[in-house]
């Protein structure tokens, strides 16, 4: 009985310690993937949140900085996808009307995303902000968005 009690206490303690790990979440509100470099003391972690998604890094207590840049690998993927879709349209004789419309819609979507990405990449090399992990607040947040002119924005909390 004593052993079960000790195992239970150890499990609860482990859960408490894991839940108390300081962390920073990067929330990507842009229409393209980004890379977020989180630096906290000697710790450095790179996150890659997809559009509309978030990623989290464990950090140490104290000050942290987040630097956001467009994900250059994504543009290569987008170009390859665009080439593939263009090839489908060039050989559309075996496609139904709906398949052709879906392919054209996918091309429009990728073009919009590529334009937003290229605008963000052209405007600035990235965005940066800072925050701090304190005893009262054990987590941080980086919200990534794009200004109307396409410039990347980062807001740390």
C-alpha distance from residue 109 to each of 77, 137, 148 (Å):
14, 39, 18
Backbone angles phi, psi at 29, to 5 degrees: -105, 15
Task: Flag whether 34 is in a domain.
Answer: yes
Query: Is 18 contained in some domain?
Result: no
Mean pLDDT, residues 109-124: 74
pLDDT at 142 over 90: yes
Output b/e per residue, 45-79; b: 16+ Cβ within 10 A. Answer: bebebeeeebbbbebeeeebbbbbbbbeebbeebe
Dist CA 68 CA 30 (whole Å): 12
pTM of the model: 0.66
d(CA 39, CA 44): 4
Percent of the chain scoring above 70 in pLDDT = 83
Residue 106 within a domain: yes
Neighbours of 90 (CB within 10 A): 8
pLDDT of residue 122: 66
Q: Please indicate, yes or no, if residue 134 is contained in any of the structural domains.
A: yes
Best-predicted range by mean pLDDT among 12-21, 80-89, 129-138?
80-89
Instruction: Report pLDDT digits (tens) over 20-74.
Output: 688 999 999 988 888 899 988 888 889 999 999 999 999 888 899 999 988 877 7
CATH code for position 110: 2.60.40
Q: Return d(Cα 89, Cα 77) in angstroms, integer.
A: 19
Q: Is 144 exposed, middle or buried (CB count within 10 Å of its CB: 0-12, 13-18, 19+)?
A: buried
On whether residue 45 sits in a domain, the answer given is yes
Q: Answer with the residue of higher pLDDT: 115 or 1.
A: 115
Q: Which residues pair with 31 in a beta bridge?
A: none
Number of structural domains the chain divides into:
1
Does the pLDDT value for residue 80 go beyond 80?
Answer: yes
The answer to whether residue 14 sits within a structural domain is: no
Do the domain assignments include residue 114?
A: yes
Contacts of 79 (CB under 8 A, 6+ apart): 114
The whole domain housing 104 covers: 23-156
Q: Tell me if 8 is assigned to some domain.
A: no
């Amino acid at each position: 009985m004593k052993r079960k009690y000790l195992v239970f206490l150890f499990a609860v303690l482990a859960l408490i310690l894991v839940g108390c790990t300081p962390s920073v979440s990067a929330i990507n509100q842009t229409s393209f993937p980004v890379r977020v470099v989180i630096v906290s003391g000697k710790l450095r972690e790179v996150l890659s949140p997809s559009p509309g998604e978030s990623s989290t890094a464990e950090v140490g207590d104290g000050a942290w900085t987040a630097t956001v840049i467009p994900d250059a690998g994504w543009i290569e993927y987008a170009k390859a996808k665009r080439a593939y879709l263009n090839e489908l349209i060039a050989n559309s004789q075996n496609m139904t009307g709906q398949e052709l419309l879906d392919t054209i819609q996918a091309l429009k979507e990728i073009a919009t995303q590529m334009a937003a990405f290229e605008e963000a990449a052209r405007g600035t090399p990235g965005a940066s902000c800072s925050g701090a992990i304190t005893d009262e607040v054990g987590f941080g947040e980086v919200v990534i968005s794009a200004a109307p002119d396409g410039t990347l924005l980062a807001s740390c909390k």
